[in-house]
Chain A
Amino acid sequence: MIPSADYLRILPELILVVAGVLVMLIEPVLDEHNDRRSIFLLAFAGTILAIAATVYQALDKGAQGLGWFGMVRVDSFSICFHLIVGFVAAMVILASFEYLKAQNIRAGEYYGLILLGSVGMMLMSSAVELVLIFIALEISSISTYVLAGFRRRALGSVEASIKYFLLGSFATAFFLYGVALTYGATGSTSIYPIAAVLRNGATPLAFAGMALMFVGLGFKIASAPFHVWTPDVYEGAPAPIVALMSTAPKAATFAVLLRILFAASEPGWFWIVWVSAVLSMTIGNLGALVQNNVKRMLAYSSIAHAGYLLVAFAAAKDIGISAAIFYAASYAVMNVGAFIVISHVAGHGERFVNIEDYSGLGRRAPTLAAILAVFLLSLIGIPITGGFFAKFYVFSAALQSNLVGLTIIGVINSAIAAYYYLRVIVYMYMREPRTETPMVPLPMTVGFSLAAGVVATLYLGVLPNRVLEYALAGARALVK
């Protein structure tokens, strides 16, 4: 008999599943012309309800704790990531309404997959059992593989989907192998029993298991040297989907990584993370310097940001973890925002994704340009934006653990990064407008989603205190 409190522990996931299935079921019976709006509203309502359910979990202590035979654990940590995933999904769904119309994409499966994928991502952050983590990872990955190929008339999109699928399956196999080895070494697949065994001393087998899991997860977060798929996939996939998959699954994977490395106290990961952080930051930023396609540029930038996040991993326990959570949140907000602007500018068939297409955007569409500028400045890490504070917090955590070398590499990298983000701003404000690029007025749904992004970015930059405290609580819940 399953206690009813257990259902509360997966309430957000349940809501999303119901919404996702409903969206898929309703689509065929609806009229061809009217279906878009009602399906959109249903999907959006689903994400909002899921967020509300997460907030309920945060407020009601009875909904927190272990459940489902010790497979799911709801705590401040999982709630942080649930909110990130929910927020991203809601923003992306809002921004997709007009996009689907412009690209002529069928809405049912699209929203359905976003909702079901979000289920996987949310479950990743609350699962404390390796097999459930694996299943959640697969739910989220398979949805994103399909979503990447949704512009099916475009060759690049199909290429992106297949590439992502092949390499992704390969990476998942690594992860599964790591799970198997960990099971062999500790006799359990559950995080807390594993931790109990590993605390008494780790065997080489456990180390190998950890390393293999890191390879699998490193692929999902696009950290170097497992990043090669990123630019091609981001270039080909539909822009709102890139907004989703560059943030939400990444945040969820970081949650998994944090659980595996810290809660299960796996051994010997420090230098692996250190090297991966340095490589990601450097390769990401240097790669982004030479890109002319804005989507590709942001793909490289996302590799670099994964590197900054890994810096937080290498730092001291609770401050490092809370820095990672905060970074994941502010990165999600600003990157989703930037990609939504890109998807709006790209127009029919995503033809306008080169940096030249942004020439004089400040004159043609002042509001849109100002919004993109806010997100870009946040990605650089300029004050009053969330990005500034996130970087500051990560590096300060690293220095408190005496990682001077890593911090200096990171700080130099963030100075390099300023150049390519700034380049877009220079094109927007300091070049003459190009007449070839048409300018569609900002639809209300996109405007609303962007406004939410800007407000969140500025909120995280000016009044980060509450979020930080909650992240710290999450970090403490994790290492307890």
Chain B
Amino acid sequence: MNTLNTWILTLVTFIPLFGAVLLFFFPRRDRDIRVFAFVISLLTFVLSLHLPVHFARGAAGFQFEMDVPWISTPNIHYHLGIDGVSMWLVVLTTFLTPLCVLISWHSVHDRVKEFFVLMLLLETAMIGVFVALDLFLFYFFWEGTLVPMALLIGIYGHERRVYAAVKFFLYTMVASVFMLAAILWLYAHVGSFQFGDVQAWLRGPGASEAAGAMKWLFLGFFVAFAVKVPIFPLHTWLPDAHVEAPTAGSVLLAGVLLKMGTYGLFRFNVGLFPEESRHNAPWIVALAIIGIIYGALVAMVQPNLKKLIAYSSVSHLGFVVLGIFSFTQAGMVGAVYVMLAHGVSTGALFMLAGMIHDRRHTFEISEYGGLATPMPVYSTFFLIITLASIGLPLLNGFIGEFLVLSGAFQARKLWGILAATGVIWSACYMLWLYQRVFFGKVKVEANRTLPDLDLRERLALWPMAGAAVLMGVLPLVWISAIDPAVKDALGNAAQLTMQVMGR
């Protein structure tokens, strides 16, 4: 059991890569390729379930650690480990990937092999980002997500795919070189890339030695993550990337890649620079609240289904940032919970959008109307997910947003009040969307005979709907693991502030 505990993260991370390499040498028989990709991703998911089952809840610090020297000069370690936050993000990733294989079954019919190879490569890189505890390794995986995602968008996307792919690549690439510079600066002074070492140094000798550089280091990390989240003025790549990406690409982009940004903010900005984070919290929260309201308002007027969902992501991710930088227990736990809930519900929304696109080849909302009549099962799923997304109690969205808002109120009343309007806006645009697409008479003749969901599509949606309900009813399953991790991060922050105040 102990061996498995040490190796489990390595296994979960690299089985998709292994599958991708095998797949690369597969003969071009599309059906077998799909089945194989599905089996590999399902296997990864099953293995990743080992983590929550054997996770010591209530314990702080990292678990399932593995630390092996990789490169001696510079001193780089292959160091993996998870706490409650990263564990659930890993499980979210492995949960979404097999479903993405399912929804790409027929919608991808050209260059099938390359598609699934890229998807499995992407899965490895995404999991790696969440489990890496060495800054070099983290950057390694972080950049590693870039190429497969850009290629997925650029090759398999819709009309303006090339533009979207290049924009996505350049935005993220340019922003992350600043993080690279910050990491290198830290290494030059600490002599180690290990998260723990760097953290200890910044609290001990570094606090005075790096006092002048601290602000720039914080910003270096912040810019890279802010583009990925995306935080308000840096969000313009997101709608393009989402609209042009193939369905599976959108699901993974919204479900996991954006979370890499907020995870980075939580782990590195707050974890390494607690003081700077508190210091900069007001303007970051201001941007987050602008994002919440702006994203929701822009979502409301979108004529394009996918763009609407994309802007709703901007709004939801604003809640996450607000929660993290509210520096309250409730806010941070809520932020993590919104990350998970958003991964499920927005991922499902993109799946649903992709399914209707497969049938009618358009995302224009005006092309639909009255779909409840020809497609009752589809409309039921859509309703459940819509309600989850707007935060109806007993569904997953509610828990997170509630916690974030209560945290925000604790921190500053005005933040809470402004952010709370976001909940109302989201109900407006989502319910209005639902009404326009599903209710009323069937306006377009082609919609009258649309086939309802087939078995494969239902198979992809059931787990999503199930997760949405489960996360709404039994939040403690998740929160009990998240809580100590947040307390840890917050404790560091609080401790440091006390020190500073005391001095």
Interface positions, chain B 86-116, Cβ under 8 Å from A, are: 111, 114
Question: Is there contact, CB below 8 Å, between A468 and B166?
Answer: no
**Cα of A430 to Cα of B160 in the assembled complex, Å:** 11
**Cα of A396 to Cα of B143 in the assembled complex, Å:** 17
Question: Is there contact, CB below 8 Å, between B141 and A411?
Answer: no
Question: Is there contact, CB below 8 Å, between B187 and A399?
Answer: yes
Question: Is there contact, CB below 8 Å, between A468 and B143?
Answer: no
Q: Is A412 positioned at the interface, with any CB of B under 8 Å from its CB?
A: yes
- In the assembled complex, the CB of B223 is this many whole angstroms from the nearest CB of chain A, namely 12
Tell which of A166-174, A234-242, A418-426, A435-443 binds the partner.
A418-426
Question: Is there contact, CB below 8 Å, between A418 and B169?
Answer: yes
**Cα of A12 to Cα of B165 in the assembled complex, Å:** 48
Question: Is there contact, CB below 8 Å, between A377 and B187?
Answer: no
Question: Is there contact, CB below 8 Å, between A396 and B184?
Answer: yes
Interface positions, chain A 401-457, Cβ under 8 Å from B, are: 402, 404, 407-408, 411-412, 414-415, 418-419, 422, 425-426, 429-431
Q: What 1/0 flags go to B43-78 for Cβ under 8 Å of A?
A: 000000000000000000000000000111110000
Question: Is there contact, CB below 8 Å, between A408 and B181?
Answer: yes
Tell which of B146-154, B197-205, B427-435, B494-502 binds the partner.
B146-154
**Cα of A393 to Cα of B177 in the assembled complex, Å:** 14
Question: Is there contact, CB below 8 Å, between A430 and B185?
Answer: no
Residues of A with C-beta under 8 A to B73: 319, 322, 468-469, 472
Q: Is A292 positioned at the interface, with any CB of B under 8 Å from its CB?
A: no
Question: Is there contact, CB below 8 Å, between A395 and B180?
Answer: yes
**Beyond A464-B71, A468-B71, is A418–B143 a contact (Cβ under 8 Å)?**
no
- In the assembled complex, the CB of A395 is this many whole angstroms from the nearest CB of chain B, namely 5
**Cα of A366 to Cα of B112 in the assembled complex, Å:** 13
Interface size class of B (residues with CB under 8 A): 20 to 34
Residues of A with C-beta under 8 A to B169: 418, 422
Q: What 1/0 flags go to B179-192 for Cβ under 8 Å of A?
A: 01100110110000
**Cα of A472 to Cα of B184 in the assembled complex, Å:** 19
Q: Is B11 positioned at the interface, with any CB of A under 8 Å from its CB?
A: no
Residues of B with C-beta under 8 A to A366: 114
Q: What 1/0 flags go to A196-238 for Cβ under 8 Å of B?
A: 0000000000000000000000000000000000000000000
Interface size on A, residues (CB 8 A): 37
Question: Is there contact, CB below 8 Å, between A382 and B147?
Answer: yes
Question: Is there contact, CB below 8 Å, between A395 and B184?
Answer: yes
Q: What 1/0 flags go to B124-141 for Cβ under 8 Å of A?
A: 000000000000100111
Question: Is there contact, CB below 8 Å, between A411 and B177?
Answer: yes
**Beyond A399-B187, A411-B181, is A426–B162 a contact (Cβ under 8 Å)?**
yes
Nearest A residue to B147 via CB reads: A382
Q: Is B174 positioned at the interface, with any CB of A under 8 Å from its CB?
A: yes
Nearest B residue to A380 via CB reads: B173
Residues of A with C-beta under 8 A to B162: 426, 430-431
**Cα of A477 to Cα of B139 in the assembled complex, Å:** 32
- In the assembled complex, the CB of A426 is this many whole angstroms from the nearest CB of chain B, namely 6
- In the assembled complex, the CB of B318 is this many whole angstroms from the nearest CB of chain A, namely 27
Q: Is A339 positioned at the interface, with any CB of B under 8 Å from its CB?
A: no
Q: Is B155 positioned at the interface, with any CB of A under 8 Å from its CB?
A: yes
Question: Is there contact, CB below 8 Å, between A383 and B140?
Answer: yes
Q: Is B161 positioned at the interface, with any CB of A under 8 Å from its CB?
A: yes
Residues of B with C-beta under 8 A to A468: 71-73
**Beyond A319-B73, A382-B147, A469-B73, is A396–B170 a contact (Cβ under 8 Å)?**
no
Question: Is there contact, CB below 8 Å, between B144 and A382?
Answer: yes
**Cα of A363 to Cα of B110 in the assembled complex, Å:** 10
**Cα of A356 to Cα of B144 in the assembled complex, Å:** 27
Question: Is there contact, CB below 8 Å, between B161 and A430?
Answer: yes
Question: Is there contact, CB below 8 Å, between B184 and A388?
Answer: no
Nearest A residue to B142 via CB reads: A383
Q: Is A38 positioned at the interface, with any CB of B under 8 Å from its CB?
A: no
Question: Is there contact, CB below 8 Å, between B174 and A393?
Answer: no
**Cα of A465 to Cα of B169 in the assembled complex, Å:** 29
**Cα of A384 to Cα of B139 in the assembled complex, Å:** 11
**Cα of A19 to Cα of B158 in the assembled complex, Å:** 56
- Taking a contact as CB atoms closer than 8 A, the residue among B139, B165, B177 that contacts A414 in the complex is B177
Nearest B residue to A363 via CB reads: B111
Question: Is there contact, CB below 8 Å, between A426 and B166?
Answer: yes
**Cα of A196 to Cα of B460 in the assembled complex, Å:** 75
Residues of A with C-beta under 8 A to B141: 383
**Beyond A382-B144, A407-B181, is A430–B165 a contact (Cβ under 8 Å)?**
yes
Residues of A with C-beta under 8 A to B177: 411-412, 414-415
Residues of A with C-beta under 8 A to B181: 395, 399, 407-408, 411
Question: Is there contact, CB below 8 Å, between B188 and A465?
Answer: no
- Taking a contact as CB atoms closer than 8 A, the residue among A384, A418, A464 that contacts B170 in the complex is A418
**Beyond A383-B140, A415-B174, A426-B165, is A396–B187 a contact (Cβ under 8 Å)?**
yes
Residues of A with C-beta under 8 A to B170: 415, 418-419, 422
Question: Is there contact, CB below 8 Å, between B173 and A415?
Answer: yes
- Taking a contact as CB atoms closer than 8 A, the residue among A392, A408, A465 that contacts B72 in the complex is A465
Q: Is A104 positioned at the interface, with any CB of B under 8 Å from its CB?
A: no
Residues of B with C-beta under 8 A to A472: 73
**Cα of A222 to Cα of B188 in the assembled complex, Å:** 30
A362-B155, A411-B178 known; 8 new pairs, CB 8 Å cut-off, are: A396-B187, A399-B184, A411-B181, A418-B170, A422-B170, A426-B154, A430-B155, A468-B71
Chain B contact residues, CB within 8 Å of chain A: 70-74, 111, 114, 136, 139-141, 143-144, 146-147, 151, 154-155, 161-162, 165-166, 169-170, 173-174, 177-178, 180-181, 184-185, 187-188
7 A-B pairs with least C-beta separation: A399-B188, A400-B188, A383-B140, A415-B174, A411-B177, A430-B154, A399-B184
Report 12 cross-chain contacts, Cβ distance below 8 Å, ordered by A residue.
Answer: A319-B73, A366-B114, A382-B144, A383-B139, A388-B143, A396-B188, A399-B184, A399-B185, A404-B185, A411-B177, A415-B170, A430-B161
